[in-house]
Amino acid sequence: MIRQRTLKSIVKATGVGLHGGRKVTLVLRPAAPDTGIVFHRVDLDPPLTLPADPYAVCDTRMCSGLEKNGEKVGTVEHLMSALAGLGIDNLHVDVDAPEIPILDGSSAPFVFLLQSAGIEEQKAPKKFLRVKKPVEYREGDKWVRLDPYDGFSLEFSIVFDHPAIDRTATSVKVDFATHSYIRDVARARTFGFMQDVEFMQSNGLALGGSLDNAIVMDEYRVLNAEGLRYADEFVKHKVLDAIGDLYLCGHPLLASYTAHKAGHALNNQILRVLLEDREAWEVVSFEQPRAAPPAVVHQFGDALPAQA
């Protein structure tokens, strides 16, 4: 059986919130089968519970946030990406601020945190959302689509017309039948432009943004002294984001995702287009591992995810 997963123990981390610039404490707690990923704003009295839900997604301009009763948890996508990558189905996420800490701008610190807590397989079959027919969403020259596929792959292309980005590969395909989330995706950092950071900070946004949690560029070059972590780190980060955004539907997808110039807003729209077409998807599980597609066994069949 391909099983649901949670953590073995509670784990805690602190970091800076990208937008508020304040210290944020994050606590990840194991959860029972079929709980899903549930965020808790523990700084509110009473605490507010916000389950991962594509219809609760708000404010997709710079990050993906969830909103309920006028309160938010922002910047959930990198943590959601790490949870999807390690196959964590059930988790309570306590946070004492309106955003998840940005850490180093990638999902690698979340992966480290999850591995430190240990991953536990549960006595319930993992539920996948299988895409049965193609769905597509377009906005001008940006588009995103999902096609049926017995596994999970993502193909992304970007156009920035910036010398530092154009020097790198601007398209990539990641297929988890052969790629490893931890090795090939997790370390890709978010990126931004110096003039945007200055403008945002003068408007009270991105107050926690720095060279410690993003690739920052001026008009010509990358300003981070250490350079890039992957030769194609920019487009890889878009894949990392898409994995996190798509996981807000509550289940891993069995689908191939293709996107051009898309971002958080389009990733959310394609989930809504998919879910609203009842013919386009079904929830499946694999009681017998032999019945699971090889790509699913490769990604989720081991007791623990591959270490590299």
3-state secondary structure the chain: CCEEEEECCCEEEEEECCCCCCEEEEEEEECCCCCCEEEEECCCCCCEEEECCHHHEECCCCCCEEEECCEEEECCHHHHHHHHHCCCCCEEEEECCCECCCCCCCCHHHHHHHHHHCEEEEEEECCEEEECCCEEEEECCEEEEEEECCCEEEEEECCCCCHHHHCCCCEEEEECCCCCHHHHCCCCCCEEEHHHHHHHHHCCCCCCCCCCCCEEECCCCECCCCCCCCCCHHHHHHHHHHHHHHHCCCCCEEEEEEEECCCHHHHHHHHHHHHHCCCCEEEECCCCHHHCCHHHHHHHCCCCCCCC
Nearer to Zn ion, 234 or 286 (CB): 234
Q: How far is the CB of 54 from Zn ion (least distance, A)?
A: 17
Nearer to Zn ion, 190 or 258 (CB): 190
Nearer to Zn ion, 190 or 299 (CB): 190
Nearer to Zn ion, 30 or 109 (CB): 109
Q: How far is the CB of 151 from Zn ion (least distance, A)?
A: 23
Q: How far is the CB of 97 from Zn ion (least distance, A)?
A: 18
In this structure, is the dihedral angle defined by the CA atoms of residues 39, 40, 44 and 46, taken in order, positive or negative? positive
Has 264 been annotated as catalytic?
Answer: yes
Rounded CA-CA distance 293/272 in Å is 26
Q: How far is the CB of 190 from Zn ion (least distance, A)?
A: 4
- AA identity, residue 87: G
DSSP-assigned beta bridge partners for residue 120:
6
Nearer to Zn ion, 127 or 189 (CB): 189
- Which residue of the set 19, 179, 251, 264 is catalytic? 264
Q: How far is the CB of 113 from Zn ion (least distance, A)?
A: 17
- AA identity, residue 171: S
Contact call for residues 151 and 177 (beta carbons, < 8 A): yes
Give the residues lining the site for Zn ion (CB under 5 A): 190, 241
Nearer to Zn ion, 259 or 295 (CB): 259
Which residues belong to the active site? 264
